[in-house]
Amino acid sequence: MAEDVAHFIRENGLKESSIIGHSMGAKTAMTLALGSPDLVANIASVDNAPSDKSLGKGFADYVRGMKQIDASNCKRQAEADEILKQYEESITIRQFLLGNLYRPPGENVTKFRVPLDVLGRSLDNLGDFPYKDPNEIRFGKPALFVRGTKSKYVPDEVLPLIGQFFPRFRLVDIDAGHWLISEQPEAFRQAIVEFLSPQE
């Protein structure tokens, strides 16, 4: 994924890019910054860290629910939401997941854009991080780490490792779980705007 982003940046002639990623997107941003620092001005990593971490059971449940929705040939998002309620009680998170639904051309049912079989098979490895030794590679430009205080993905004990890989990092805590952008959009927006604003 980091290679895909690097290709996009080069192909479009972008300069001094700010990369913001949540969850796996955060690991993508960190990987890109460490592997191709010349392409990146700064990064914002949202609720993830540069370490291997197994995914919570909830992700497998989400995939099961999404597969059930696909198999049910739902015609409306409300029908899909009723199915997903069995797997996730938060309407905010359900709406986020259901944002991947679309109606394929010529069909009258909704399907997910993401390849659910591939996603389901890959869950065991999705929490891995490709760089292991911060003594070998560092990103010396600004980095923002935003974490949900009710999430388990950026515990206090990983902060020293973040500091080793990203010595110019800043940390912002938001009173939310892993889906903090959906749960606290204004707090997230403020953190990003402050980080990206020119510093006096």
pLDDT of res. 63:
92
Residues of the chain predicted below pLDDT 70? 55-56, 200
pLDDT of res. 56:
66
CA nearest neighbour of 164 among 34, 61, 21: 34
pLDDT tens figures, 95-140: 989 999 999 999 999 999 989 988 888 877 777 899 999 999 999 9
pLDDT of res. 52:
86
pLDDT of res. 198:
84
pTM of the predicted protein model: 0.79
The single-letter code of the amino acid at 14 is: L
Q: Do β-strands 111-112 and 101-102 pair in parallel, antiparallel, or remain unpaired?
A: antiparallel
Residues serving a catalytic function are 23, 178
Q: Which residues of 52-80 are buried (b: 16+ CB within 10 A; e: fewer)?
A: ebebeeebeebbebbeebbeeebeebeeb
Q: How many residues does the chain have?
A: 200
Query: Are the beta carbons of 97 and 66 closer than 8 angstroms?
Result: yes
pLDDT of res. 200:
63
pLDDT of res. 147:
97
Phi, psi of 4 (to 5 degrees): -60, -45
Q: Does residue 173 sit in helix, strand or coil?
A: strand
Query: Are the beta carbons of 67 and 61 closer than 8 angstroms?
Result: no
Question: What is the Cα gyration radius of the chain?
Answer: 18
List the beta bridge partners of residue 148. Answer: 174
Question: Going from the N-terminus, what domains does the chain have, and what CATH number goes with each?
Answer: 2-53+140-196 (3.40.50.1820), 57-122 (no CATH)
